[in-house]
Every structure is written in C-alpha cells, then in structure tokens.
Amino acid sequence: MARGEHDYDDIPGTFVFDQQRSRQGYGINMFCMSLMQDENRKAFKADEAEYLKKFNLTPEQTEAVLTRDYNRMLELGGNIYFTAKLGATDGHSFRHLAAVMTGSTQDDYASMMLGGGRSVEGNRSKSGRFDKPAGVAAKSRAKTAGARKAGKAKAGSKPKTRAKTSKKSKK
C-alpha cells in the first residue's frame, strides 16, 4: 500500500515513526531488539546477512541494515530507539549516530551542539509555508527575524554553529 500523506511530512529531515512505518518496520525493530542479548550480538557479528534472515526483512531493509544506512532504516520503518541498539552493537552512542544521520563529521556535529544546536530557523518546513514560529513560541517571533537571516543550518547540509549560544547555559 502506498504511503498516505501526513501534515508532518512537511518537516524537513524527519521520518516520523507512525503506525504505517511501525508495521512496515516491525522486522527491523525486532531485529534491533534482539541485539539486547549478548549471544545474539555475537551471532549477528559472526554472519550478519545470515542472522538477518530470521526477521523477514525486505531486500531494501536488509541492505539498509548491512550498509548501516541509518536514515534509510528510519524511512523503511525503523525507529531510532531501536536502531540505536544496532549502533551500540557497533560501539556507537546516540550522538555518534545523530552525526552520521546528518551527514556531518563527529567534530562538526559536536561543535554545532556546543554552539546551541541546529537552529530551527530554516528547518521548519520543506514547502516553506510554515517557516515562521507558530503557537506557543510565536510571541518571540519579532526577535527571531534577525536570527533567521544570521544562522541557517539546513537539515542535511554541513552544520553551522549558531551565532548566539544559549545565554541560559551560562547561568
């Protein structure tokens, strides 16, 4: 069945783990869950392709796992809290995987986070129809106009440290 359209598909660089993806990715996530046990980690490491046969993955899903294509795993129904167990089996932290998924180096990603993280400015909407703050944060809109021009780090592009770090962090 084709994937239906959802309002959240407009959010850039984001694969929402919804009901349809959960159904589609059941095998990926149960495979990842199995890696919680040491003997399974060893069996997987010994012969990855053979081990994956137990989980009824599609060829695309199998390839995504074998090549450690974390974005593709999410797109095909994996969830980050599960795929992180695959990352942990390879000895990687959440932050390491996050850097990998953004296509940046570990150093660049770490300095982006220390600089206050990826700005939401320019990262709200693929269509551009929702690129202004809405709802609860809307009243600080006037103040963000300058920031929007100054520091855009588009999803997937090389992360750029935001000009202003959070003042609160110095408290």
Partner 1 sequence: MARIIAGVASSHVPAIGAAIDNKQTEEPYWKRVFSGFETSKEWMRQTKPDVCIVVYNDHASAFSVEIVPTFALGCAAEFPPADEGWGPRPVPVVKGHPELASHIAQSVILDEFDITVVNKMTVDHGLTVPMNLLFGSPAAWPCPVIPLAVNVVLYPPPTGHRCFMLGRAIRKAVESYPDDLRVVIFGTGGMSHQISGPRAGLINSKFDKAFLDNLTKDPQKLARIPHLEYMREAGAEGIEMVMWLIMRGALDDKVDEVYRFYTVPASNTAVGHIILENRAKGAKPAGKRKAAPAKLKRAAARAKVERVHS
The H or E element that residue 7 is part of is: none
Which of 124, 131, 126, 122 has the alpha carbon at shortest distance from 149?
122
3-state secondary structure of 13: coil
Stretch 31-90 residues interacting with partner 1 (CB under 8 A): 32-33, 35-36, 71, 74, 79-82, 85, 88-89
Query: Least distance to partner 1 from the beta carbon of 59, Å?
Result: 21
What is the size of the binding site for partner 1 (CB under 8 A)? 67
Residue 65 DSSP SS3: helix
Dist. CA 57–CA 65, nearest whole Å: 10
Span near partner 1 by CB under 8 A; candidates 43-51, 55-63, 113-121 = 113-121
Cα separation, 61 vs 72, in Å, equals: 8
Interface ranges with partner 1 (CB under 8 A): 7-8, 11-19, 22, 26, 29-30, 32-33, 35-36, 71, 74, 79-82, 85, 88-89, 93-95, 97-99, 101-103, 109, 112-114, 116-120, 123-125, 130, 133-137, 139-140, 143-144, 155-156, 159, 165-166, 168-169, 171
